[in-house]
Amino acid sequence: MAQTTAPAPAAAPAITPISLREIAPWAAFFGVLMLILLYFVGAEQGATAVFAGDTVHEWVHDGRHLLGFPCH
């Protein structure tokens, strides 16, 4: 009688931790991006406006109300 052997289980891939040095540039990039987005949604109108007119205000108007920023 032929004897069959079960294949050896595959080794699990090694999980290598991600260092802070690798994450820091991405965290800084997304942090600055979120601050810019927060500025446009929350403060881009009136005396602190960077762009003239109401174009930016109209683009972020619904998001402004969704996040609780008063605008008019």
Q: Say how far apart CA 64 and CA 58 lie, in whole Å.
A: 10
Q: How many residues does the chain have?
A: 72
Per-residue pLDDT of the chain (72 residues; tens, 9 = 90+): 567 777 777 777 788 888 889 999 999 999 999 998 888 777 777 667 777 777 777 788 888 888 887 777
In the chain, where are the structural domains located? 36-72
CB neighbour burial string for 20-54, b if at least 16 within 10 angstroms, e if fewer: eeeeeeeeeeeeeeeeeeeebbbebbeeeeeeeee
